[in-house]
Amino acid sequence: MTRRATVQCDECGSPFFRDSSTMTGLCAECAHVLYGYPPCVHAFDDVGVCNLCGWNQSRSTYIATLLDERAK
Ligand SMILES: [Zn+2]
Ligand SMILES: [Zn+2]
């Protein structure tokens, strides 16, 4: 397995692969929710970490609130 550069998302705090997100400092998930960038299709492994983007399904309170508002 090739080791990919991992950085931490400023928003949700999850580690993610730097090359998986359009935005520096934001994981693909947060960049999608906040700025409408194309989302990762996510392929979660046994411990709930995405093999494609590295996101561990963390949500900041802000993101959770946004998603909650949109679901109404
Ligand atoms: Zn994030
Ligand atoms: Zn993903």
User: What would the pLDDT profile of 39-61 be if each residue is shown by its tens digit?
Assistant: 999 999 999 999 999 999 999 99
pTM of the predicted structure, to 2 decimals: 0.90
**Looking at the DSSP assignment, which residues form a beta bridge with residue 6?**
17
Dihedral sign computed on CA atoms, order 59, 52, 25, 3: positive
3-state SS assignment for residue 67: helix
Q: Which of 32, 54, 30 has its CA nearest to residue 43?
A: 54
Are 13 and 60 a contacting pair, CB within 8 Å? yes
CA 2 to chain centre: 20
User: Which residues are close to ligand 2, an ion, with C-beta < 5 A?
Assistant: 40, 42, 50, 52-53, 55
Tell how far the Cα of 32 is from the centroid of ligand 1, in angstroms: 9
User: How do the domains of the chain map onto residue ranges?
Assistant: 6-71
Taking only the tens place, the pLDDT of each residue in 21-42 is 999 999 999 999 999 999 999 9
